[in-house]
Amino acid sequence: MDYRTHKHILSKHLFTPANITDFVGEAFTMMEMILVMSVIVVLFLLTIPNIQSTMTVVNDKGCNAQKKVVDAAILQYKLKYDEIPSSVQQLIEAGFIRERQAKCHDGKGISVVNGQAQ
């Protein structure tokens, strides 16, 4: 191939005023764009409840895990002092847990009732 052939091939692929009219029928119409956007919105709205319920389950599991940490600290306290702590504050003061471990991730406080974390 010589230079003129390459020039001809390249000119076919460039957007020049002569061949822009070839693409007029291939553009999306406004109705097609609105339809695609509405489908995306509907799919998004369908997934929001699933995301919210998943977040609730994750927060509940995190809180249960935090309660297990406090339960373990209660057992350690009982082994060391031979008594059950009456509050989470006793566990914090004795150094068995940190203050941030006395709350769940959603902000609910954990308390000690009958030797178990509640």
Instruction: Please name the residue that has the structure tokens 């010589």.
Output: 2
Give the pLDDT band of residue 108 (cuts 50, 70, 90). Answer: confident
Contact (CB, 8 A) for 78 and 33? no
- Please write the tens of the pLDDT for every residue from 13-48: 555 555 555 555 567 788 999 999 999 999 999 988
Are 59 and 104 in contact by the 8 Å Cβ rule? The answer is: yes
Model pTM above 0.95: no
**Helices (DSSP H) in the chain: which residue ranges?**
3-13, 17-20, 30-81, 88-94
- C-alpha–C-alpha distance, residues 52 and 69, integer Å: 26
CB neighbour list of residue 33: distance below 8 Å, 6 or more residues apart: none
Interatomic CA distance for residues 34 and 113, integer angstroms: 58
